[in-house]
A and B are shown apart, each in its own frame.
Chain A
């Protein structure tokens, strides 16, 4: 991937990520999150991980966030009121954030392998869909099936809960 594209999409992703938190209007927040997901997908595509990039768009930007937006619009949520912050709470938050950033910097500086460029994969065309599928259904078959049952239970539960009033 061209480093220029990486920096553009990384900067855009972070900008939209900040905008999710800063925006007071829930629709603007939701759309910023969508834009952030799209930029993240672009980063995946830049790493030749087309499958993960496309799934990112298909699942998060295309399905989950549409439902979010749908609910925000149906409930007609108004922009949040500006709150006054307690100075002490702000200072505490800043302290904790600074602590975490310092910890992260320390850990990363102690990991020299993270500074090395990864050797090229050496394949012209990566068949990542097939490889993901093969790995899922051979090495991780049982966890995969278990997750499937879990999702089924969750969706049956949702239907039971939402139908309760009808009786």
Chain B
């Protein structure tokens, strides 16, 4: 009985509620509609139409036509999901069964676990909108992201065939290499903020203007102006490394269709393949969210009032709370569109070019950038 009383039931309940809200009502819908956006935007760039036919099948319930909302084709992600669930779950005979089953799970879980420390809103219903407000925020994200490589490596290895194996090897060397520049490019930001906690990072940007746009608080001091230079450099390095970490084009060597069929998930079908797909897009969302939190002020909107813990129970506070959450995910979607745009604009790198870029340029730039930031912080008050 005494043991049961030590368990903080309220905390667990609110954390579970926030996690369910974040994953099932926000992130997974964004994932499925990012796939849709990917196809529509690529079609736009290549002067095609893309999937514009699938509506919501209300004709099954006796209506004359399927429901087509404003864009057309908005039922496509739902249809895709149903297709993945209904397809044959085929396991080739030559694979290493246990790891073959384990790999998709290991690809999906880290991508979703990253979301735990993201402050995706201010206050709502008397709760802070972050699942775990830990003081190591950004380090937690890097740690979990570094776990994500296991899913891909195991998928490539357990498939027991050459193209998946090559894809797995490429993925792991690429992710290990770019983790360095990713971590180092975040250091200047952390030096400026002086804290690893992501909520504090947003609070700093509310007080001093967003790091990437330091004039959003209405003033621009000399220090802010000088620090703008290293922040811009680290933003560029961070974003490029994020592309490599999430295996997105122009760095999608692990699954480059022209050389490796489909890379590490060649042997996968149906829902197991879909888990890799979801994991990749969830990792993209997590990466974009980190960019938004570190550089673009998180849920903060200039000139919009900020609700507090007390006011978040009143109707106005609730509306503001939802506005903050909307603002956060609007920024995330903006970054996602940028990811898609880059994918359909730039050609793929060669593998040695990719390694050269990571080790010879981005790594050194990020390292020098730390010294520049330190110099500016030390000299200009």
Contact = CB atoms under 8 A, between A and B. Distances in A.
A58 B146 contact: yes
A73 interface: yes
Nearest to B175: A66
DSSP class of B's interface residues: helix, strand, loop or mixed? helix
Contact of B153 (A55, A66, A127, A129): A66
A63 interface: yes
A54 to B, nearest CB: 5
A57 B157 CA distance: 22
A66 B150 contact: yes
Contact of A66 (B139, B143, B146): B146
B134 A70 contact: no
A18 interface: no
B135 A57 contact: no
Contact of A54 (B3, B136, B150, B173): B136
B6 A3 contact: yes
Interface residues of B, number: 26
A28 B344 CA distance: 40
A2 B153 CA distance: 35
A58 B143 contact: yes
Contacts, number: 71
B140 interface: yes
Interface in B177-230: 179, 196
A55 B146 CA distance: 11
Contact of A27 (B157, B165, B173): B157
Contact of A50 (B3, B136, B168): B136
Contacts of B168: 73
B146 A57 contact: yes
B135 A50 contact: yes
A28 B35 CA distance: 35
A62 B146 contact: yes
Given A54-B143, A69-B153, 10 more contacts: A2-B7, A27-B157, A50-B136, A55-B139, A55-B143, A62-B146, A66-B153, A66-B176, A70-B173, A125-B135
Interface of B: 3, 6-7, 99, 134-136, 139-140, 142-144, 146-147, 149-150, 153, 157, 165, 168-169, 172-173, 176, 179, 196
30 contacts: A3-B6, A4-B7, A27-B157, A50-B135, A50-B136, A50-B140, A51-B135, A51-B139, A54-B143, A55-B139, A57-B146, A58-B142, A58-B143, A62-B143, A63-B146, A66-B150, A66-B153, A66-B176, A67-B176, A69-B153, A70-B169, A70-B173, A73-B153, A73-B165, A73-B168, A126-B135, A127-B135, A128-B135, A129-B139, A129-B196
Interface of A: 2-4, 27, 31, 34, 38, 50-51, 54-55, 57-58, 61-63, 66-67, 69-70, 73-74, 125-129
